[in-house]
Amino acid sequence: MKTQWIPALLLVICLTACTPAASTTPESETNPATAETAPAQSTGETAAFPVGHLRALCYRESTADAVYNAAVAQPEGGDPVLQLLKVDLADALRSSVFAVEGENWEIPKVVPYENSVCLFANGAMYRVPQSGGEAEVLPLGDTFAPDYADEYSAYDFVYNYPDSRTDGARLDLATGALTPLQLPSQTMSIYAVGEDRFLLLRLITDVPLPDSREWEQYEAVCQNATAEYDWYDPATGELETIWQAPYYGIQQPDGSKKRYSLLGMAGGRLYFEWFTEEGMGIVGGTESCAADGTDWQPLPGKPGENRCTWTFTQNGSLRWLMGGSEGSLWIYDLADGQVYDMPHITGTNGWPELLVGRDQVMVAVGTEPYVVSNFAIISIEDYLAGSTDWTPIRDAPAKPAS
């Protein structure tokens, strides 16, 4: 079943439903989810499946030529349908390339794979040709809601409260085969940073953590916990520990505690935001280290002296660090090491939503102070140079009925 019905408001809702890909802020790491009582062991097994460049998924996914996302549509007088929308980056035209009927939709993430886009619904994977047309349906037998993907597969992880355990599954995008995965216990956060391994943040504790819903007891154990960063190979289960620090921060000479939050990885280096409480406020900056946790260095200039509130990735790797406030926003481009002042952009006009295609950026476009009415496309080079000559996204003309 196909439809060309694409309401503008629907696009705004579905495109603003997710923060920029791989965006991380320190506050996201203040509520631990799991804990560890013993060091993890390597399985030493041969890789069970190939692993490519792992990346975190958002509700919009870009190929070199287009941006795809799922959206729920309610045709007049008809039943709800789940649409796969495509924005052609050559002309900024938006069209519906596939639709399927269903009930109680939750908007799923999509995964581009070879010349198709994988859409998950009805306990199945719909592999839709990128140009549109009939989808190949691979039954999965259960709900699968991926959060990460690479060139070969998609990954879904679920935290189990009673056992303080994170279980997952790897889906082969070619065959639809599912491989169960169990992460090391006490895994708190999972990061995909463009490498062939996940980076895990785990808690190491003297005693097992109670159920995190028993907050007082849980928090008491966390007071003396250690935060540990480990590379994790999903194909073999092998772990490589690269860094440890007190969970609630490294004690400083003035009595404050310096805490770290991972931003992403680029050029073989991991980037962390650090922050401390100072009086009634929070100060911070950005540092980087080698992939093995050595060679820590502060970033120069604004990103080294200020908190980077927003991050943007390109093909899974960190590309932009963004900080400041409206009227004094700035972007640090890791590709050239330059800081670009962006005083003219606002949250509803020119705000970067996603790095897409071949060095392009999707930006928000609005005519009111607090309302995003559309999105537009512009090259990264022109955008960083201060241009506002972007191309608004428009609906493609409806195809005549055959």
Using pLDDT thresholds of 50, 70 and 90, give the confidence band for residue 329.
very high
Of 82, 95, 159, 105, the residue nearest 132 (C-alpha): 95
The H or E element spanning position 93 is strand 93-101
Whether residue 177 is predicted with pLDDT greater than 50 in this model: the reply is yes
Whether residue 278 is predicted with pLDDT greater than 80 in this model: the reply is no
For the segment 312-337, the average pLDDT, to the nearest whole number, is: 95
Whether residue 402 is predicted with pLDDT greater than 60 in this model: the reply is no
pLDDT confidence of residue 265: 98
Whether residue 384 is predicted with pLDDT greater than 80 in this model: the reply is yes
* Portion of the chain with pLDDT greater than 90, in percent: 60
Angle (CA) 284 288 290, round 5°: 155
Distance (Å, rounded) from C-alpha 337 to C-alpha 335?
A: 6
CB burial of residue 295 (10 Å; 0-12, 13-18, 19+): exposed
Residues 183-240 have pLDDT tens digits of 998 898 999 999 999 999 999 988 888 877 888 888 888 888 999 999 999 999 999 9
Beta strands in 130-186 (DSSP E): 136-139, 148-149, 153-160, 165-172, 178-182
Q: What separation in angstroms does the CA of 234 have from each of 46, 51, 115?
A: 11, 8, 25
Residues pairing with 193 in the sheet = 55
* Portion of the chain with pLDDT greater than 70, in percent: 86
- The verdict on domain 8-39+54-395 having CATH code 2.60.40 is no
Under 8 Å between Cβ of 109 and 147: yes
| Separation of CA 241 from chain center | 23
SS3 28: helix
Whether residue 14 is predicted with pLDDT greater than 90 in this model: the reply is no
Of 11, 127, 132, the residue nearest 72 (C-alpha): 11
- More confident position, 154 or 398: 154
Average pLDDT of the residues of the chain: 85
Using pLDDT thresholds of 50, 70 and 90, give the confidence band for residue 154.
very high
pLDDT confidence of residue 376: 97
Distance (Å, rounded) from C-alpha 173 to C-alpha 175?
A: 6
Whether residue 40 is predicted with pLDDT greater than 70 in this model: the reply is no
Distance (Å, rounded) from C-alpha 145 to C-alpha 156?
A: 6
For the segment 144-165, the average pLDDT, to the nearest whole number, is: 89
CB atoms within 10 A of CB 304: 16
